[in-house]
Structure formats: structure tokens, C-alpha cells
Structure 1
């Protein structure tokens, strides 16, 4: 049987239907709903089965009433109508409630719906619930990028370390990983990663950047002499001059000051 939250408040009929649903026995769920036509929970669960199998017949039977599945059913209805953002909101609402019953199929559908609209917070939240039940790393890349876009760089680094075997060859992940190190002020680590990206020949190497910034590196004393008067552009130049002259601590101080100016 697939893992799920227990339906402790449901009657045995509902529990039986949920167990059938978890195992993918959707036809059996439909039969139970047909035999118990006034059972709102079974009607809602039957509709979810129809949406999961994409048969587009979910509206052909009663959907009125309210159950624990109401937000989930609403999410599927919006998804079927192409209202992707509304669907993502309702999937998030449903799964953030710890009492909501969970199965592999509906949770993965919810995560993918949130990914589709770039709902990074919802993705991160739903993936945490997924990881509490399944430890297969299926959503490792999505979790990494969700945390990155949420600017939770330390957590993104932790996710990468936990899933390095599956992520270490992904160029996009490595590029974002390098930027994570930049954002937390670890510029040397950032340079080491960005230099070694697959296809790194397409971007300037560290040595190229040193050459590019050579004049500004030579001008560091002049920048420092009038540091309080520097424009934002000049501060950026100074920060990169420090970075590419391996004065990482000073580079961090400059970039941090720029962040607080935003």
C-alpha cells in the first residue's frame, strides 16, 4: 500500500475507498461511489479519480457538498479549465494542511502544477511533504531551484549536497550553485564551480575576467580613496576588482553593502 496520512476521522467506507484510491484501483472507487450515491466524500474522491485518469467525465456526477477533499477537487477543476495559477493555489492550500490525506499521485500532480506556474514557495512546501513520505530524490532539482529562487541559498546548497550524485552533471544546477556561493559571500568557491561548468568555454574563464578587470584592479587604490563618493556602478566595479584580485573578504563587504542599498 502506498504511504499516506491516515483518515482517522473517516468511516470505514471512506477508509476503504481511500485505500483503493492509493493503489490506483480507480474503477473500484467509482463502483463504491455509485453504490453510495449520497456519500459526498466518495463522490469527491471519484471525481479526483476521473481527473487523474484524464477522462474528463468528473462533472457528470454530483459534486456538491464539502469534505476534506474540497480544496483538492477545486484544484483539479481549475487545472482542467486551464486556470493554472488558481489550481496551484488550491493544491498548496490542500497539502499544507497536515490532516489532508495524501497519495503519491495527487501530491506529484500538485507539485507539477505549482512548478508550471513558478510557484516556488508552494513547490518547496509540497516537496517537503513529499520527502516526508518518499525519499527517492525525484524532485531534488526542483527543490534546489525553488529554494534558489526564494533566495534561501544555504538551504539550496544543502539540497545540492544531499543530491549531488544526480545533480552534479547538470549545467543549469551548477551555474545556480555558483551563484548561491556568490550570494553568501563565498566567492572563491563560486569561481571554482563556474570555471568548471560543462561547456565553460562558452563563458569567460576566471583568467579572462582577471584580464578584463585588470585596469580596475590597478585602480583599486583610487576607488578606495573616494569610496564614500562612488556611484553604484563604480561600487560594482570595485567589488569585481576585489573579486578578481582574490580579495574575497573585501569583495563580500562591497557586494553586501550594495544589497542593503536595494
Structure 2
């Protein structure tokens, strides 16, 4: 167990129970808690085991006392009670602490909770920890979407390039990638991506989008006259009208102004 000496005086006992937890032997963790009724750490770990299995009894544990697992336990309690935002904060606090033991299961739960909460910054922080420890691409898609939702379009593009082998067939990723390229002013590349989406026959083609925006394209001069008074949605529509009429420079200016407003 990483840094287990920071947990309590019963190092070897707690290490052995933590190893049971790491291997998914949750029933044995619960039995250990029964055998050691005064060991707060093991009781906390037993409660977390119950949360990991989805048991309804986790909230009924005697959870007095404080251990290194306290923030983690609080995160699971918030999550089970439908408060993912509060849970995400505590998961992040737990995993950023240098003394916290980490396992595959709880880190995955923490990342998923950050995603559920829409806290993409915390998700990225935990994904970086995950990649360092486990060195796989399990969260490649979430890493890309987190960067996308945070408007870090250049980094999202680089993330896609690093993980293109696992992401290139994901239609949602490719659609977001196309929009990343639009925001970066790479309109020809965006057009190529959007035209080649998997299942393109089920979604509007580039030509369909041109037809859809035809009324807006015809009225571009009117919108330009009151450009400073346009709402965000109207500006977005104007940007796409420029894009689908191949006025790429003007489209870039509009999208850049919209991105700057959310930074």
C-alpha cells in the first residue's frame, strides 16, 4: 500500500487489508472489519468496499473517527446521495494528497464522478494521475472531451492525435473534433472531418448544412449591420453562415470572439 506508514500504527495489518481491497476481495475486507472493531481505517475501507459493490448498507457503517480515507469516504457518501459536485471536490482532494493510498477501482470511480459533475478540470487532474500509474488509454475519450468542454481546443486536438487509434471511429469524438478545428480556424480540415463522420448518411451532410443556413447566408448583410447587438446564439449562427458560405476569415473572427468571451 503506497505511503501506508502515514495511516496509523498498525501498518502491517492495514497494508494486508488494503491489498485485499485492491484485488477486489471486498467480502474479506468486511470480515476484517468485523474482526477488528476498533480499527477505524479498516472500517472506513470496509464502507468504501460496500460502496464499490453498490450495496445499500454502506451508509449504515459506524464511521466515527478520522483517517487518511476520510475525504474518500465523504466522496462516496456524497455520490451515493446524488451530490456528484460535492463528491468530485472530495475525490480530487483525496487523490491530490501525497499521503493517500490509491487503487485502480477508486481512481476510476473518482474520474467518473468528476465527469458526472461536469467538473472537467478535476477530471483532467485525475486522468493524469491515472495515466501515470496505469499507463493505458482507458480515459482517452474523456480526456479529449474534458479539454473540449474547457475550450482548450488546441490541447484537445493534440489529445486526439495522441489517441487517434482508439478515437478515430468514435462519431461523437469526430463531431467534437470538427468543431475544435472550426474554433481553431482550420475550416477546410473541419469540413473534411464533418463530411466523413461515421454514419454520415444519418446526419446532415455539409451540403445539407449549406441549405439549412441558406436563409442566414442571404441575410448576412443585415446581421452585419447590427453585429454588436447580436446575441451569442445569433453570433454563433452568423459564424456558421460564414463557414458554410466559405467566408472562412470572417467565420474565424466570429468564432474567436465567442471563444474569448468564455475564457
Same structural fold, with TM-score higher than 0.5 when normalized by the shorter chain: yes
The Cα offsets for residues 192-249 of structure 1, whole Å up to 9 and x where unpaired, read as: 11111123345544445567778988999x79xxx78745659768755654464534
In the alignment, structure 2 segments of 5+ residues that lack a partner are none
What is the aligned partner in structure 1 of residue 69 from structure 2? 69
What is the aligned partner in structure 2 of residue 23 from structure 1? 23
Q: Which of the pair has more CA radius of gyration?
A: 1
Residue 82 of structure 1: CA displacement? Answer: 3.1
What is the aligned partner in structure 2 of residue 45 from structure 1? 45
In the alignment, structure 1 segments of 5+ residues that lack a partner are none
- In the alignment, which of 4, 7, 11 is matched to residue 7 of structure 1? 4
Measured in 1, the distance between the counterparts of 2:212 and 2:52 equals 55
Residue 27 of structure 1: CA displacement? Answer: 3.0
The Cα offsets for residues 94-147 of structure 1, whole Å up to 9 and x where unpaired, read as: 223233111011111222222223232222222221111122311222222122
Measured in 2, the distance between the counterparts of 1:20 and 1:140 equals 29
Are positions 1:173 and 2:185 aligned together? no
Alpha-carbon spacing, 1:249–1:115, altered in 2? closer, same or farther (3 Å): same
Alpha-carbon spacing, 1:259–1:85, altered in 2? closer, same or farther (3 Å): closer
Measured in 2, the distance between the counterparts of 1:189 and 1:64 equals 58
Normalization by structure 1: what TM-score?
0.80
Residue 56 of structure 1: CA displacement? Answer: 2.9
**Contact 1:232-1:258 at 8 Å conserved across structures:** no
Provide the aligned length of Structure 1 versus Structure 2.
256
**Contact 1:47-1:59 at 8 Å conserved across structures:** yes
Alpha-carbon spacing, 1:77–1:229, altered in 2? closer, same or farther (3 Å): closer
What is the aligned partner in structure 2 of residue 194 from structure 1? 194
Alpha-carbon spacing, 1:204–1:31, altered in 2? closer, same or farther (3 Å): closer
